[in-house]
Amino acid sequence: MALLQISEPGQSPLPHQKKYAIGIDLGTTNSLVSIVRSGMAKTLADEQGRHLLPSVVHYCKEGMRTVGYEAAAKTLSDPLNTLSSVKRLLGRGSGELKTLGNEMPYEFEVDGIGMAKIKTAVGLVSPVEASAEILRSLVSRAESNTGSSIDGAVITVPAYFDEAQRQATKDCATLAGVKVLRLLNEPTAAAIAYGLENSNEGIIVVFDLGGGTFDVSILKLSRGVFEVLATGGDSALGGDDFDHSIAEWLYGQTGLDRSLSPKEQRLLLETSKAAKEELTKSDRVDIDVLDWHGTLTIEIFNEMVQTLVDKTIRACRRALRDADIAKNEINNVVLVGGSTRMPIIKEKVEQFFGLEPMTRLDPDRVVAMGAALQADVLIGNKTGDDMLLLDVIPLSLGIETMGGLVEKIIHRNTTIPIAKAQEFTTFKDGQTAMSIHVVQGERELVDNCRSLAKFELRGIPPMVAGAAKICVTYQVDADGLLNVSARELTSNMESHIEVKPSYGLAEGEITQMLQDSLTSAREDMLSRALREQQVEADRMTEDLLAALNKDAEALLDKNEISCLHAAIEELNKLRKESTEHRLLARQIEAVGKLSENFAAKRMNASIKKALKGKSLDQIENNQ
Ligand code: ADP
Ligand code: MG
């Protein structure tokens, strides 16, 4: 999951410098290209007026390749050379391709560098190469439409795409010769198309039922920045399954008891798909297939797809739970994907969320439109700063404190630029230097976070532990550059360092670190509690041993002394061996109780000593 996009206010270019930026929805089933004209996002049609481009590439023996409708028409006659749904294969390793490949009709081969490729009439083709053909086709559509070359594109990806899948998508663009301005999450694009970022705050559910996949995303919008709280769905549930339901029903109706030829199967499926789509416009559809004539009503259809619809609703429930969001907290539900045109989907979604879903925009086009709006801003066509796009810190920035614990100073998802300061103090008497360790991550222990930088603040005037005041400031500028400074407030000694937090950290690693922090939250809490007790145990042992060395003989009897030593020993043993913070806490308390008497005696003794030989005047003057 990538965490929010977006940066820099739009600049106003001179009119003759108009730049062309496009938004591309590179879909599993269909792809689209969109552009902003007079502030409105429009999807572009091909010469026949069709907006959708089927995500299908056909390779023929002569080395020719076709894309879109023309390619899709070859599915039946030349299945091995007609590649569809290649988006499912993008960024997947050869191991994953083996399982995925089983569900596809193609032959796979692993090339010299371990990349899985598809065997076609023109040789081995990688999923990236096939997707690049689709991109090329969309870009050339945009070029002929604008009569100009295209300066950049925003390409959308599913919110759950990992780093490898995102990287593969970028590779497609490079191969197609398109400059990627940004990859944008599909649900975020849909929300932008509806202008939801202008509402500034809110929880948005994006329900995306496409041809072969179902994705539900829970987005949180705060101060104009989108955060993906949870994603869910089913990568093997989409419009195709609804086609299959009708096909099965038809098979039963026609009374056929023989297996169908591939051509007949295809015909049955195509008829089913057409019937399904017709049923979004009318209550019944007449069907004429394989010598069978009959009628399919919306009631029968709704009944046969009930389990499919229920599955989508269950996934919504799960995603809400993952995001820890209650239904009444949701502000908007957005429908995306051609399959959300089915009335039964709209009805059930509305029923489940108790909120009328947004359907004003064409569910096929909404993702591409949002991408185009974003592309327009990023290329600098948007005037003024009314669409101030913001970037956020993907992982928390913190500082190492005693016991290897992390104190977060700037929390993840904070909008930059930002500066935050926090005060710390010394741990030991007379401490004159302090080492500042800057870390990044969500976990509680330094060992589980990423170390960004270490530096030292020297020249702290010697004081008793806890008396020095060290102010540590973390400042992140608009480019994501972190500057950390530390200043001792009584002496004004200062030291600082500059680090680039995201340097060398791929998006996938960020995701991994976030996932780790979620899955390890409980474990982390326990280890933090343990570390805290360990630090406390060390402090107590050190203090008590020093006090015993100094005053034990004068103030305690032998028995008391050995009792205290035994208690300290037990504390140290637990400190080393116990992994249970409560046990350690109990022993710390026990040692504390046991040493109370000793502490009281020392206090009295020191007061007596302080008072000895002083006049009342001196005492009153606090000398
Ligand atoms: P993807 O995002 O996976 O590329 P799309 O959003 O383009 O997919 O959705 C394609 C699916 O939408 C197909 O299964 C198609 O049958 C379905 N679809 C398109 N129009 C309609 C309609 N009017 N009624 C029902 N389903 C439709
Ligand atoms: Mg889609």
What's the one-letter identity of residue 227? E
Pocket flag, ligand 1, residue 211 (CB < 6 Å): yes
Q: Any idea which ligand is nearest the CA of 55?
A: 1
pTM of the predicted model over 0.75: no
Cβ atoms of 55 and 84 closer than 8 Å: yes
Residue 280 DSSP label: T
* CA 57 to ligand 2 center in whole angstroms: 17
Q: Where are the domains of the chain?
A: 21-238+306-392, 397-519, 522-611
For the question of residue 78 being annotated catalytic, the response is no
**Which range has the top average pLDDT, 7-11, 36-40, 90-94, 392-396?**
36-40
Out of 2.40.50.140, 3.40.605.10, 1.20.1250.20, 2.60.34.10, the CATH code matching 397-519 is 2.60.34.10
In total, the chain counts a number of residues equal to: 623
Known catalytic residue at 25: yes
Average confidence (pLDDT) over 239-252: 94
pLDDT of residue 12: 36
Q: Which atom of ligand 1 is nearest to the CA of 338?
A: 12
Q: What is the pLDDT of residues 488-546, one digit of tens each?
A: 888 888 887 766 554 445 556 656 666 666 666 667 777 878 888 888 888 889 888 98
For the cut 70, the answer to whether the pLDDT of residue 13 exceeds it is no
322 part of the active site:
no
* pLDDT above 90: percentage of residues in the chain: 41
Ligand nearest to the CA of 86: 1
- 100 in the Ramachandran plot: left (φ > 0), alpha (ψ -120 to 50) or beta? alpha
Q: In 305-396, which residue ranges form alpha helices assigned H by DSSP? A: 306-323, 343-353, 366-379
pLDDT in tens, 306-331: 999 999 999 999 999 988 999 999 99
What is the atom index within ligand 1 of the atom nearest the CA of 337?
Answer: 6
pLDDT surpasses 70 at 563: yes
Q: Is 495 in the pocket of ligand 1 (CB under 6 A)?
A: no
| CA 239 to ligand 1 centroid distance, Å | 6
Per-residue pLDDT tens digits for 203-226? 999 999 999 899 999 998 877 777
Q: Annotate 234-274 with three-state secondary structure.
A: ECCCCHHHHHHHHHHHHHHHCCCCCCCCHHHHHHHHHHHHH
Question: Nearest bound ligand to CA 189?
Answer: 2
Residue 447 annotated to the active site? no
The residue assigned the tokens 């208690």 is 567
> For residue 14, what pLDDT band results from cuts at 50, 70 and 90?
very low
Lowest mean pLDDT among 20-24, 484-488, 617-621: 617-621
Domain over 21-238+306-392 is classified CATH 2.60.40.420 = no
What span, in angstroms and rounded, lies between the C-alpha atoms of 579 and 275? 64
* 573 CA to centre of ligand 1 in angstroms: 66
Average pLDDT over residues 348-352: 98
Mutation choice for ligand 1 from 53, 242, 339, 366, CB with most ligand atoms inside 8 A: 339
Helix ranges restricted to H, 55-93: 69-72
Q: Which residue has the higher pLDDT, 506 or 155?
A: 155
CATH number of 522-611: 1.20.1270.10
Most confident of 11-15, 249-253, 387-391: 249-253
Report whether pLDDT(2) > 50: no
Query: What are all long-range contacts of 33-40, with beta carbons under 8 Å and residues at least 24 apart?
Result: 33/138, 33/139, 33/141, 33/142, 33/368, 34/365, 34/368, 34/369, 34/371, 34/372, 35/142, 35/145, 35/146, 35/372, 36/372, 36/373, 36/375, 36/376, 36/381
Helix (H, G, I), strand (E, B) or coil at 589: helix
Please tell me the distance between residue 340's alpha carbon and the centre of ligand 1 in angstroms.
Answer: 8
Query: With a 6 A CB cut-off, is 277 part of the ligand 1 pocket?
Result: yes
Tell me, using a 6 A CB cutoff, whether residue 394 lines ligand 1.
Answer: no
Question: Which of 129, 162, 171, 208 is an active site residue?
Answer: 208
pLDDT of residue 390: 46
**Looking at 123-137, 204-218, 475-489, which range is the least confident one?**
475-489
Contact 488, 473 (CB under 8 A): no
Burial-class residue 71 by CB neighbours within 10 Å (0-12, 13-18, 19+).
buried
Q: Is the minimum distance from the CB of 595 to ligand 1 under 6 angstroms?
A: no
pLDDT band at 7 (very low <50, low <70, confident <90, very high): very low
Of 54-63, 103-112, 335-344, the range with the highest mean pLDDT is 335-344
Residue given tokens 């948007």 in the structure block: 382
Average pLDDT (127-156) is: 95
Closest among 236, 195, 231 to 214, alpha carbons compared: 236
Closest CA to 213 of 87, 303, 117, 342: 87
Q: Ligand 1 in contact with 448 (CB < 6 A)?
A: no
Contact of 35 with 146, CB cutoff 8 Å:
yes
Which residue of 29, 88, 206, 365 sits with most ligand 1 atoms within 8 Å of its CB, as the best mutation to test the pocket?
29
Residue of the nearest CA to atom 5 in ligand 1? Answer: 210
Give the span between the Cα atoms of 342 and 361, in whole angstroms. 15
- Identify which of 26, 28, 30, 245 to mutate to test ligand 1's pocket (most ligand atoms within 8 A of the CB): 30
Q: What is the mean pLDDT of the chain?
A: 84
Tell me whether strands 225-234 and 284-289 are parallel, antiparallel or unpaired: unpaired
**Which residues, including other chains, have CB under 8 Å from residue 241's CB and lie 6 or more apart?**
308
Q: Using the structure block, give the residue that is written with the tokens 């919306």.
A: 298
Ligand 2 geometric centre to CA of 461 (Å): 63
Catalytic residue among 129, 133, 186, 243: 186
- pLDDT at residue 464, rounded to an integer: 86
- Ligand 1 contact, 548 CB (< 6 A): no
User: Contact at 8 Å (CB) between 288 and 272?
Assistant: no
**Ligand 1 atom, smallest distance to 52 CA:** 7
- pLDDT recorded at residue 384: 43
Q: Which residues of 565-592 are buried (b: 16+ CB within 10 A; e: fewer)?
A: eebbeebeebbeebeebeebbebbeebe
Tokens read off for 89: 């294969």
**Of the ranges 65-79, 390-404, 551-565, which is most confident?**
65-79
